[in-house]
Chains A and B, each alone.
Chain A
Amino acid sequence: MASNEQPNSVHHHSSLQKKIKLKQERRQHNVSFVMMILLTIVAFAAIASDAISNSVAILFIIVLAGVQVFFQLYIWMHLGHKGHEFPMWGIASGLLIALITVGTLVGLIW
């Protein structure tokens, strides 16, 4: 969305600092990329193999999914960086409302 940048936004960064940061980030990205593929394979294996019972496998892949969400949000979408307080608040309040709603709904229907 190149044309949608806020007008007049100026970035002050010395180019050296920038380079170092970029290098660090690239390493993190590579690691998490490999990890995410591995996690996906493990999740698939857990379901595909008969060694693990279904209920355990489901719990297991839900945990793996949580880890994936973490990678996605923090590594790829930079949620941990400065200036991301609003997305944090947004996600937290969204989760809160979704939890209350779905929890109540499940309670009402069962």
Chain B
Amino acid sequence: MSNAHAANKSVLWDWLTTVDHKKIGILYLVSGGFFFLVGGLEAVLIRIQLMNPEMTFLTGNLYNQVLTMHGTTMIFLAAMPIIFGFMNAVVPLQIGARDVAFPFVNSLGFWLFFFGGVLLNLSWFLGGAPDAGWTAYAPLSTTSTGHGVDFYVLGLQIAGAGTLMGGINFLVTIINMRAPGMTFMRMPLFTWTAFVTSGLILFAFPALTIGFFLLMFDRVFEANFFDANMGGNAIIWEHIFWIFGHPEVYILILPAFGIISEVVATFSRKRLFGYSAMVFATVLIGFLGFMVWAHHMFTVGLGPVANSIFAVATMAIAIPTGVKIFNWVFTMWGGKIRFTTANLFSVGFIPTFVMGGVTGVMLAAAPADYQYHDSYFVVAHFHYVIVGGLILGLFSGLYYWYPRMFGLMLNEALGKWNFWTFFIGFHLTFFPQHFLGLMGMPRRYFTYPEEFGLGSLNFISTIGAVFMTVGTIIFIINVVVTHAKGKKVSGDPWDGRTLEWAIPNPTPHYNFLQTPLVRGLDALWIEKMAGNKKMTPAEPVGDIHMPNNSILPLIMSLGFFIAGFGFIYYSSAGAPALIAIIVGLGIGLACMFLRSWIDDHGHHLHKEDLLKEDKGVDA
């Protein structure tokens, strides 16, 4: 870093105050990765308990806590942040921007997520974690004793606020900060999916926010929104949760679709087949995603008309999804395919996700769902789409963009071990669960009797979990090995097609010395085909305006974290909790005031310094 004043301060301070999208991306990735390991550990504990009939390793309420925290952690604290990590690391580069639209808000979004996640997990040490499932259905959640569910509500409320900010930030970034020539229909597909996902976040998360407020009022302030005895209605919680929840599953999967589209095209050395159909399918999936939530509630008793409508709407989503599958296959068709680790994960994704989609359509048949519902069949379905879909996609993205993010190439030999152990382990774990479900094993029970004959399939499933654990450990070893003695690579190690590969390695602080001129889809590839070594610049070299770092986002989030504690203990601790609420919210408001009051115009990097620095890096 050439920045003279940045070098004076400590590295730690730099990371705590950074507003650089590349660093925030790494922060998201590392903390999301940490929570992924925590959630994975919880999963292994669950699988050990279910390995044999009538085990007593992890039972009763503790099992419920581990189960709840596994799901909640994986969705909100692992999957979402890692997606945001990629969006931060990649989207500004893909559209030729120097940062996101609101760098300060970006940092705030990260710290809110981080403190929300910490708050939720502190419940383990403070009297017990939430135990009402990641869906927190009332009245189970409203009557759950202790403070576990309070931690769930407040922790996720804070983390969710961060997610909402992130979503808005990326919408504005993609709309406003594209380089000259980067029209919407020239945007790489990952950017498109990031855009649609951000839109879904904007429309879906407010429903969850409201739901959490109602749940919080029921639990903390003795309101009765979900209490039937007092004129409330517990079903409303289910509706609100799934009005958020189904769009949420598309928030998760769309960026994975984007990653697969980039990786498959790059490693087939072909333009993505049916680009505009892919864009249209992405938007359509996003839209339809809002119209199907009640398919999670077929057995609630909505009646045959409502069930039929939601069943048909749900099945309709399979059509744009199928379009995507065919387009990936056609992209590979006749391509010069290289089976790098990144591409292995992508190619493994395609059939795996198809299987998850097929069970999805099976579940969408309302009368049949009366059999499948709340059985291990549903568990198998959503793990096929989330682990076999999203997580394989995320691994693919990691291997693909690691050189961009860290300037180093992950070891390919270890990568292949990583893929095969994880991939085989995944199918071994979850394929048998379809049959366990059909044989009648209910979801969320901590054991099953010997006579039911569920033992052997459960045993196989646990062995599969061991394989996945090995795969994850190999990945961690790979990261350590890579950073210990990995080779520096050029800025374009894969012979890439999109703008993020037009940048030297390591990525300069300001991304692009000159904003590039985009002349079509796969902007870099077009220049390569035209025989150009570099992107054509859209501007002369000049001073670059960059935002200043700030510690306020961290302190503001800390304030809400303290207030969160106050709300959690308000119903049992009284006055001290009230003090925590006032102090915490006070800190938050004070930070907002400071942010508005202090004029911060950022700083300029000067042309002369930039030119000097540019000579130093490889081209």
Contacts and interface: CB of A to CB of B under 8 A. Distances in A.
Given A100-B290, A108-B239, A3 B203 contact: no
B239 A105 contact: yes
Given A1-B102, A1-B104, A8-B515, A100 B291 contact: yes
A7 B101 CA distance: 10
A107 B256 CA distance: 35
Interface string B536-547: 000100101111
B547 A3 contact: yes
A7 B98 contact: yes
Interface stretch (B316-324, B419-427, B597-605): B597-605
B571 interface: no
Mostly, the B contact residues are: mixed
A59 B291 CA distance: 29
Contacts of B177: 6
Interface in A10-57: none
Given A94-B203, A100-B290, A109-B233, A6 B102 contact: no
Interface in A85-110: 86, 90, 93-94, 97-98, 100-101, 104-105, 108-109
Q: Which of A4, A8, A86, A108 gathers the greatest number of chain B CB atoms within 10 Å?
A: A4
Interface string B243-277: 10000000000000000000000000000000000
A8 B171 CA distance: 20
B609 to A, nearest CB: 16
B263 to A, nearest CB: 30
A3 B98 CA distance: 13
B102 A4 contact: yes
Interface string B197-208: 001001100010
A60 B287 CA distance: 33
B362 interface: no
Contacts of A3: 103-104, 547-548, 600-602
B109 to A, nearest CB: 14
A108 B98 contact: no
Q: Which of A8, A86, A98, A100 gathers the greatest number of chain B CB atoms within 10 Å?
A: A8
A109 to B, nearest CB: 7
B104 A101 contact: no
Nearest to B539: A8
A4 B547 contact: yes
B239 A2 contact: no
Contacts of B101: 4, 6
B61 interface: no
Interface in A60-106: 86, 90, 93-94, 97-98, 100-101, 104-105
Among all A-B residue pairs, the 4 with the closest Cβ atoms: A3-B602, A7-B545, A3-B600, A3-B547
Interface of B: 98, 101-105, 171, 175-177, 199, 202-203, 207, 233, 235-236, 239, 243, 287, 290-291, 294, 302, 306, 515, 539, 542, 544-548, 599-602
Given A104-B294, A105-B243, A108-B306, 4 more contacts: A6-B176, A90-B199, A97-B203, A98-B203
12 contacts: A2-B602, A3-B602, A4-B105, A5-B545, A7-B544, A8-B539, A93-B199, A94-B203, A104-B294, A105-B239, A109-B233, A109-B239
